[in-house]
Amino acid sequence: MTSVPELTVSRSALRSNIAAVAAQIAPSRLMLVVKDDAYRHGLEWTIDAADQVHWFGAYDVVTALRVRALRPDARVFAWALATHDEIGRAIESDVDLGVGTMDYLQRVIDTASRLGLVARVHLKIDTGLHRNGVRPEQWPAFVAAAMQAQRSGVLRVVGAWSHLSEASDADDDESADVFRTATAALRDAGADLEVEHLTASAASWWRPELRGSICRVGAFCYGIRSGDGPQIPGVVPVATLSARAERVGGEGVEVGIGSLHGLPSTLTGQPVATPGGVRSILSIGPHSSVVEGWDGAAVGDRVLIHGPGDQGEADVTALGERIDSIGEEIALRLSPRVRRTVVD
């Protein structure tokens, strides 16, 4: 019998990261992004620990409804294209919808009309990323249609938003100009905007001039730094991934985590923290891996695959970079078989 790898997630780390991000971006407010089951850290306890947060970014409506059930008075934002049924449930549950195409706007209007309810929407301008947003040349017609629906009482335009490419500061400056112009046009058309939001983790932290009234931050709140990026002061990894030594001898120590648990098989050579110090992973199989031995190695010893670094283990971003990817890929690919344990 092999043991189950464990993802230990720290409530105090999450809370102090949230406080550090909130302090850094003030007076902008934090929208905590909780998509992908809170970046696989676990949605329920994350929402519970984030009791100071008023805005949550859900991505999809199903996640938004889970947040709503836990936090009846929070603002919850869902921006993935949703089905008619999901749009209806979002409107009934007072979930804010991100809308970035004329077609989707029409579906939201139709659904709200059918239900006799008012949909709260944030209109998305495409500022250059070409990821679901209205191009500047189509913006006036889009705004006109939305404001018409607002006057008919089925819609409230409460926000304007976009997403930055973060390819370069110059690109982002240009995008921010497009965003400001579009937002001004929306206000001129009569929208009484509660919020404007443009930035995610990196730009929210380092580009104060680009922050809107709220910032959508996921990665940094979980302590996942950007690729090539420095450690963020006051922000620590929330999750530690560990596995148990199953067999000692021969090539090295066999530990109970493999590629089917979500550890990329191309991470061979990666240093991990053992009770005897930092050692390399020699091979990664489907169910278990072999790590270089250490003095006094015993069955039951814990090997840290990634974490805050207290024992020399790398963080998820370093692991991601090793496979030419980003920390989020390492965090998100964990299998549901990995046990998650919430600690204080």
Least distance to ligand PLP from the beta carbon of 33, Å? 4
Compute the distance between CA of residue 156 and CA of residue 99 in angstroms, rounded to an integer: 12
Enter the tokens of residue 259.
Answer: 């590629």
- Residue list 287-326, contact with ligand PLP (CB under 6 A): none
Contact call for residue 76 and ligand PLP (CB under 6 A): no
Question: Which of 75, 107, 216, 225 touches ligand PLP by CB under 6 A?
Answer: 216
Among 134, 176, 219, 255, binds ligand PLP (CB under 6 A): 219
Instruction: Rule CB under 6 A: choose which of 200, 297, 305, 334 binds ligand PLP.
Output: 200
Q: If binding is defined by CB under 6 A, does position 68 make contact with ligand PLP?
A: no
Q: Taking CB under 6 A as the criterion, which residues in 25-54 touch ligand PLP?
A: 33, 35
Tell me: does residue 89 bind ligand PLP (CB under 6 A). Answer: no
Site pattern 115..154 for ligand PLP (x: CB under 6 A): ----------------------------------------
User: Closer to ligand PLP at the Cβ: 33 or 273?
Assistant: 33
Q: How far is it, in rounded angstroms, from Cα 62 to Cα 58?
A: 8
Stretch that binds ligand PLP, among 13-21, 109-117, 214-222, 234-242 (CB under 6 A): 214-222
3-class DSSP state for residue 328?
Answer: helix
Nearer to ligand PLP, 87 or 217 (CB): 217
Count of residues engaged in binding ligand PLP, rule: CB under 6 A? 10
**CA–CA separation, 309 and 302 (whole Å):** 14
The tokens of 15 are what? 């809370």
Q: Which is nearer to ligand PLP, 155 or 219 (CB)?
A: 219
> Which of 200, 334 has the CB closer to ligand PLP?
200
Q: Are 280 and 269 in contact (CB under 8 A)?
A: yes
Among the candidate windows 99-107, 213-221, 252-260, 317-325, which touches ligand PLP by CB under 6 A? Answer: 213-221
Dihedral angle over CA of 67, 68, 74, 76, nearest 10: 70
Q: Do you find a cis peptide bond into 27, omega within 30 degrees of 0? A: yes
The amino acid sitting at 277 is G
Measured at the CA of 249, the angle between CA 248 and CA 254, to 5 degrees, comes to 45
Q: Which span (2-10, 186-194, 210-218, 308-316) binds ligand PLP, by CB under 6 A? A: 210-218
Residue 163 interacting with ligand PLP (CB under 6 A)? yes
Q: Containing H/E element for 278?
A: strand 277-284
| Position of minimal CB gap to ligand PLP | 218
Q: List Cβ<8 Å contacts ≥24 apart for 182-186.
A: 182/125, 182/127, 182/136, 182/139, 183/125, 185/139, 185/140, 185/143, 186/123, 186/143, 186/157, 186/160
Which residues, in sequence order, are CB contacts of 280 under 8 Å at separation 6+? 269, 270, 271, 272, 291, 292
Name the minimum Å distance from CB 243 to ligand PLP: 26
Binding of ligand PLP at residue 201 (CB under 6 A)? yes
Interface residue with ligand PLP among 5, 100, 218, 252 (CB under 6 A) is 218
Query: Whole-angstrom distance between the N-terminal and C-terminal Cα of the chain?
Result: 30
Residues near ligand PLP, by CB under 6 A: 33, 35, 79, 163, 200-201, 216-219
